[in-house]
Structures are given as structure tokens and as C-alpha cells.
Amino acid sequence: MKQLHFVLSLPSDNSYQHEQAESATKTAHRLGAEVQILNANNDAVTQSQQVLEIVQSGSGSRPDAILLEPLTTTGLVRPAEAAVAAGIGWVVLNSDVDYLSGLRSRSNVPVFCVTRDHTEIGRIQGRQFAALLPAGGMVLYIQGPVNNSAAQQRTAGMESTKPSNIHIKALRSNWEEASAFQAVSAWLRLSTNRASSIDAVGSQYDGIAAGARRAFGDLPDTEERKRWLTLPFTGVDGLASEGKAWVDQGTLAATVVSLTTTQIALEMLVKAVRDGAQPPLRTLIDLGSYPPLEMLAARAKKTAAAK
């Protein structure tokens, strides 16, 4: 039996993407396939060019399928069409794009997506804010890039479940700790931004929360620094070595556990190629609050009573 060859296009090089790549490599090896991993370095043009080069390569070197976590809301529709026309399967990760149904209808290769429900991730964050701030307050909410569908959906979900007495001050960052550090450092240089006006710091990625904490930790004013660092911080991803560990250590108050998608996607893809059948159009992975919302609310109540 021919060894299957896949290409995995990842948007960046943060900790979550490292987990995506490691999971893909281990899964491919277990399934007797091989996977080539590309990193777009947070550049949508680079991602498109990398994928098109693969699609336009000689027929003998083309992969059986491309797995892509897109940087933009459009999800590289033109490269997707070119790939399928060349007989290359197309799997979208962590994003909902509107062209997959049409692509499947004229395709003889696997076309599907495996994603986290980003709107539900946001809903869980909104409920976490409610548990942490039962009396209401202001949350500094650090979002992902403006043109990223996951960031947009997480924000919409959060807005739909947060109580009306919780208000949001929004800030933008790329999906990287260093970017969050720079964004928060620049924001802090504005004289009006003080910890006394903020009651919690919410982030759409655990690494963003880490970058924000690092920026607050660099403040020269001891009291201001202490005030920022004693606020509850929340994030998303809940990797065992980072988000969940940081909650256990007390660095984060909570995270949303939303694990990698590459293992499930590759298992589905190998089965689809070998069986000649289309997988379900959309598969969602499980999500959850860590700690559970009831425990988070109890901790917040106990902290408030101790003040």
C-alpha cells in the first residue's frame, strides 16, 4: 500500500501550534503516513504562496491532502479550489469557511473541517467573567487579530453570555506572547490606563495572557504593578504544560480547555483516503472551563469574603 503524504500549513509558531505540529507528526507516524509542516509566520500572503507552491508542484511530488489552519476569514478559497482540481484533499482546521460545501459537491477527494467551536469558547469566557466578577466590573479583553474568524467568533460568544454589568475594554494582539507583551506595553504608556479601572484581564489565548502579565510585571511603580498582577487573568487553550498548569499555579484564574485538532483530522483523513468516502463536513472537538464554572464562582466568592 502506498504511503500517504500530507502537508500541514500552520499560521504561526506559538505553543498551541507546536502542539498541533507534534500531534500531527505522532499521529501520521502511527498511521503509517508522513506529514510535511509549513509555518506561515503570521503572514496570510506567505501562507497562500506556500500552499500554492505545493499545489503547483509536479504531479509526482503532490501530497494526498493539505491540512490548513487559515490566518484569514476567507480561508484561502482560491488555493483550495486549485488543490481539489489537482486531486489533492483539503482539510480546514480551527476555522469555519463558507466554501467547503460547494467544493465537496464537485470533488472526488476528501474535503472537510475539524474545528473548535470558537463562539462556544467565547461563551465559556463570558460565563467565567460572570463567575469571577459577580458584582460586575471592567474586563480588559485582549483579542486576536482583527481579520481572524476565530477571534471574531470568540468575541461574539463572550458578548452573548457576559452579564450586562460587566463591561469590556478591548485590545488587539497576534496569537503570540511577544505580540501581547508589545500591545499591552504600548497601551500602558497612555496615562489614562490604570489598574484601578480594571477588575479582570481576559485573553483569547493563554500565551496572550502570559504576555500581558509580563508587560504588567515590567511596570516601575510597585503599587501599580502589584495591583495589575493580583487581578484575575483568564485565557484559552488549556494545554497541560501551560494553561492548565498556570491555573494550578495561580498565574491564571481560569482557561478554556480546547485541545488540538490535528490528531482527529489526520485519523479522519487517512480513513477517508483509504475507504474512498467523504467524512462529515464539520467535526467539533470538546471544550470546557478549567476550573469548572461552579468551582470558579466558589473561589471568587471566598476571595471577596476575605477582603
pLDDT confidence band for 24 (50 / 70 / 90): very high
250 and 140 fall within a common domain: yes
| Cα gap 59→102, rounded to integer Å | 24
- Show the cell assigned to 179: 505580540
Q: Which three cell numbers stand for residue 275?
A: 475507504
How do residues 136-152 score in pLDDT, each as one tens digit? 999 999 999 988 889 99
- 62's grid cell: 503532490
Average pLDDT over residues 232-239: 96
pLDDT of residue 307: 64
Same-domain status, 202 and 268: no
More confident residue, 13 or 120: 120
183 lies in the same domain as 265: no
| 49 alpha carbon, distance to own chain's centre | 22
Q: Is the pLDDT of residue 306 over 80?
A: no
- Spatial distance between the Cα atoms of 169 and 152, rounded to a whole number of angstroms: 15
- How does strand 137-143 pair with strand 200-203? parallel
133 with 233, same domain: the answer is yes
Q: How far apart are CA 23 and CA 18, in angstroms?
A: 8
Q: List pLDDT tens digits, range 213-229.
A: 999 999 999 999 999 99
Query: Is-cis flag, bond preceding 280, omega within 30?
Result: no
Per the CB < 8 A criterion, the answer to whether 237 and 256 are in contact is: yes
Q: Nine-digit cell at 246?
A: 498556570
| Confidence check: pLDDT of 123 > 90 | yes
Mean pLDDT of 242-266: 95
pLDDT of residue 193: 74
Q: Does one domain contain both 162 and 26?
A: no
Q: What pLDDT does 147 receive?
A: 85
What is residue 129's predicted lDDT score, i.e. its pLDDT?
98
Structural domain for 22, as ranges: 5-116+261-276
Total domains, the chain: 2
**pTM of the predicted protein model:** 0.88
Same domain, 235 and 133: yes
Residue 21 reports pLDDT greater than 90: yes
Q: How far is residue 211 CA from its own chain's centroid?
A: 16
Rounded percentage of the chain residues whose pLDDT exceeds 90: 83
**In a shared domain, residues 181 and 237:** yes
Looking at the fold, whether 44 and 168 belong to one and the same domain comes out as no
Residue 87 cell numbers, joined: 486531486
